Amino acid sequence: MSQFVNLIIISALISFFNVAVAFWPAPLQDFCVADPTSKARGNGELACKNPALVQANDFFFSGLLSPGNTTNPYGASVIPVTVATLPGLNTLGISLARSLQVGFVTSNPNYNHFNKTLQVGDVFVVPVGLVHYQFNAGSENTVVIAALNSESPGIIAFPNSIFGAKPDIGSDYLAKTFQLDKCIVEELLAKF
């Protein structure tokens, strides 16, 4: 009987001290660009800009190559790149050479396209979970530093995942979905 009572007491203590932390990993919105002009605060943070007023420049910074003010006790200048996205930063592209075209598309229903051509020292931020791209828009090689929000972010190449799926996604379905002629869909399927 005493062992049974001890077991109940130990179980109760474990239950009492056991803490579960949960969160929903998917953001409730595509992004939150802080609105420094708003007097509203949420959890001590700035309110988000109206998404209809957001522009590509809200995800862009130019000036990493500009020397900072180092006349301080530390003799250093730091340029913090802070992004208020939910739940966090997806990609941070920093161009080290000219003409890197970057952009992303917001989710349903608006599918807004934000894009920018980066020059040396420019930064562009992509909110987490959005379809995005980057490509060399110039004739010379481009070097980019990208910071990701995951130890294993992976990549989903949409053409490969749609037209290279095994077993194939039916060409009738793909033709209807992409509003293409079935012959064109079958040509695409043959390439993958």
Domain presence at residue 90: yes
Q: What is the pLDDT of residue 112?
A: 93
Please give the residue range of the domain that contains residue 191. Answer: 156-192
* 121 and 144 in a common domain: yes
The mean pLDDT value of the chain amounts to 74
Domain presence at residue 20: no
* 134 and 48 in a common domain: yes
pTM for the full predicted model: 0.59
* 139 and 44 in a common domain: yes
* 164 and 185 in a common domain: yes
* 163 and 145 in a common domain: no
* 166 and 130 in a common domain: no
Total domains, the chain: 2
* 127 and 32 in a common domain: yes
Q: What is the 3-state secondary structure (H, E, C) of the chain?
A: CHHHHHHHHHHHHHHHHCCCCCCCCCCCCCCCCECCCCCCEECCEECECCHHHCCHHHHEECCCCCCCCCCCCCCCCCCCCCCCCCCCEEEEEEECCCCEEEEEECCCCCCCEEEEEECCCCEEEEECCCEEEEEECCCCCCCEEEEECCCCCCCCCHHHHHHCCCCCCCHHHHHHHHCCCHHHHHHHHHHC
How much is the average pLDDT of 12-21?
A: 50
Q: What is the pLDDT of residue 7?
A: 54
Question: What is the spatial distance between Cα 132 and Cα 142, in angstroms, rounded to a whole number?
Answer: 18
Lowest mean pLDDT among 35-39, 78-82, 141-145: 78-82
* 136 and 54 in a common domain: yes
* 185 and 92 in a common domain: no
Domain presence at residue 10: no
Domain presence at residue 19: no
Domain presence at residue 167: yes
Question: What is the spatial distance between Cα 52 and Cα 114, in angstroms, rounded to a whole number?
Answer: 12
Domain presence at residue 96: yes
pLDDT tens by residue, 67-124: 677 786 656 565 554 444 334 444 455 555 567 888 999 988 889 999 998 888 788 8
* 166 and 125 in a common domain: no
Up-side HSE of residue 79: CA atoms within 13 Å toward CB? 13
* 112 and 32 in a common domain: yes
* 131 and 42 in a common domain: yes
